[in-house]
Amino acid sequence: MLRFLARHWELKLLALVFSSGLWLFVMISQKTSVALTLPLELDSLPPGLVVKGAKPDTVEVQLHGLRADLARASAESLRVRVNLIGARPGDLLVSLGPEQVLVPPGVRVVRVNPGVVRFVVVQER
């Protein structure tokens, strides 16, 4: 048995290295989807206004991309940013879509849940 393993050991080692490299390439280049819970950030609220009442702190986002790109994109580096420029006192409904999600190149936003968020904006006292 040992003689069989020792015969042509160079070719066997080369085959092992080649197959390991091919497996690694396939695993890295595979596209996949992942769902993450990301923090919701409010940006550019006009001076003198504040958001009151219940608002979600996080939203669920489904991302699609290469496995390697998704592995580099940690939940801490991803954000959902809502721009509140031009907000006025009262109820404010904001649609959440891929354009509000900050993701690295090569990663695509498939879905944001909830798709609409309600804020109550009031004059600061």
Q: 63-82: per-residue pLDDT in tens?
A: 998 887 888 777 677 889 99
CB burial of residue 64 (10 Å; 0-12, 13-18, 19+):
middle
Q: Which CATH number fits the domain that encloses residue 34? A: 2.170.120.30
In angstroms, rounded to a whole number, what is the distance separating the alpha carbons of residues 52 and 118? 11
Could you report the per-residue pLDDT of 96-109, keeping only the tens digit for each?
A: 999 999 988 888 99
> Where in the sequence is the domain holding 69, given as residue range(s)?
30-123
Measured at the CA of 93, the angle between CA 117 and CA 111, to 5 degrees, comes to 40
pLDDT of residue 1: 62
pLDDT of residue 80: 92
Q: 16 in a domain, yes or no?
A: no
Q: 7 in a domain, yes or no?
A: no
pTM over 0.75: no
Q: 89 in a domain, yes or no?
A: yes
**Residue 31 or 110, more confident:** 110
Number of domains, the chain: 1
Mean pLDDT score of the chain, rounded to an integer?
A: 87
